[in-house]
Amino acid sequence: MTTLFIRGINDSNTANMTPGRNGGVTFAYDGCCGIYWSMYSNSSSVEEVTLFGEQVKQQQIKLKSRPTLVFNEISDPDSHHGALKRCETLCEQLQCPVINHPSKILQTTRDNISRLLQDIPGLRMPLTVRLQPRSPEDIYSEIEKAGLDFPVIVRLAGSHGGESSILITGRNDIDKLHVYPFDGSDFYMTEFVDYANDDGHYHKYRIVVIDGVPMFRHLLVDRKWMVHASSIKFMEENNLLKNDSTAVYKVFDKQTMPMLRPVIDEITHRLQLEYYGIDCNIDGDGNILIFEVNANMNILLNDYLPLEDNMKQIKQEILKLLDKYAASGSQQKIMHNG
């Protein structure tokens, strides 16, 4: 049985180089979920191919053997549309099971996720609108047109980690928008929901869903609304929060996950993805406020010691996922040849 991992180059046809494991250099692919690199790069039972974006001629793909399973790692529909379309064609040709089929990944833009996940009991999915503004004034016009109330989060499509996110609280914030290139780029506008708890802290949970099984990945806490990896520094400087978050790791699956399971099951049903992540806030009653849902989150890279046990469990579930779908693909191959 052979698993084929498919990675992609973004639509700008660029990739960063990074130091390799043996003193050389390797390419760092954005917009890909990184399972192959983290778990399988030294395995003889897998193959990998890289698909280019738009406007670039794709070299002929030569595989050692016909795969029994494809894992599509291309996971950003905003920045990798061309590679995902090519991946669709390749998957049609291979006719074997596909994890995270590119046709499903193409449906995970922020605005489409906002539409897909409305009206789920116990879940709040903020409205998100896609636009192509030519000036700061265009953004304000679109806010009014969409019926959004301030504050509103504005970000460039395809950006991650909060690097382009700006909170607009009203007309007085128009100068903040001059940092953007109004060159026809796609933007997202999302209604902001203040999720601070009673002591003014913001909690962001990341949940990984593997073959329908939700698993706790991490909790980050900060005093500001934009919570990202940099918030670990705040947590480490505040021993109480650090201790609290470590305690959460130990009890989340038993105490909190059962409350969330019906909501997450419905999300999985609507997305039809085998591997993805959820960034959210969870209140004391188990209600979920969605920040982001997609397959493009950092799941396997980890420098934070309290997460080691979580990471081992997540990797075990990934192995089970691949074994299950590879066995299905192997059976299809036997039936086809027979």
pLDDT of 332 reads 60
Q: pTM for this one? A: 0.92
Which top CATH class is 127-191? alpha beta
pLDDT of 317 reads 95
Cα 68 to Cα 188: distance, rounded to the nearest angstrom? 38
pLDDT of 32 reads 94
pLDDT in tens, 78-136: 999 999 999 999 999 999 999 999 999 999 999 999 999 999 999 999 999 999 999 99
Q: How far is CA 41 from the centre of its chain?
A: 21
CA distances to 34, 44, 247, 304 from 67, rounded to whole Å, are 19, 13, 43, 35
**Residues in CB range of 48: below 8 A, 6 or more apart:** 4, 5, 6, 7, 36
Strand partners for 206: 218, 279
Whether the link from the prior residue into 306 is cis, omega within 30° of 0, is no
Whether the link from the prior residue into 151 is cis, omega within 30° of 0, is yes
Instruction: Using the Cα atoms of residue 262, residue 268, residue 274 and residue 275 in order, give the sign of their dihedral.
Output: negative
pLDDT above 80 for 163: no
pLDDT above 70 for 263: yes
Largest CA distance in the chain: 70
Q: Give all strands of the β-sheet with 152-156 in edge-to-edge order.
A: 128-131, 187-191, 152-156, 166-168
Mean pLDDT of the chain: 90
Q: What average pLDDT does the segment 309-329 reach? A: 89
pLDDT of 337 reads 46
Cα 31 to Cα 52: distance, rounded to the nearest angstrom? 12
Q: What whole-number percentage of the chain has pLDDT above 90?
A: 66
Token pair for residue 183? 């060159």
pLDDT of 334 reads 44
More confident residue, 310 or 150: 150
Q: What average pLDDT does the segment 236-261 reach? A: 79
pLDDT of 33 reads 93
40 DSSP assignment: I
The domain ranges of the chain are 3-106, 127-191, 202-319
Residue 182, SS3?
Answer: coil
Q: How confident is the model at residue 202 (pLDDT cuts 50, 70, 90)?
A: very high
pLDDT of 101 reads 98
pLDDT of 215 reads 93
Find the range with the poorest average confidence among 15-29, 61-75, 170-184: 15-29
pLDDT of 23 reads 72
CATH of 202-319, one of 3.30.470, 3.30.160, 2.40.128, 3.30.310: 3.30.470
Cα 158 to Cα 160: distance, rounded to the nearest angstrom? 7
pLDDT of 335 reads 41
Half-sphere exposure of 135 (CA within 13 A, CB side): 3
CB atoms under 10 Å from CB of 197, counted, come to 12
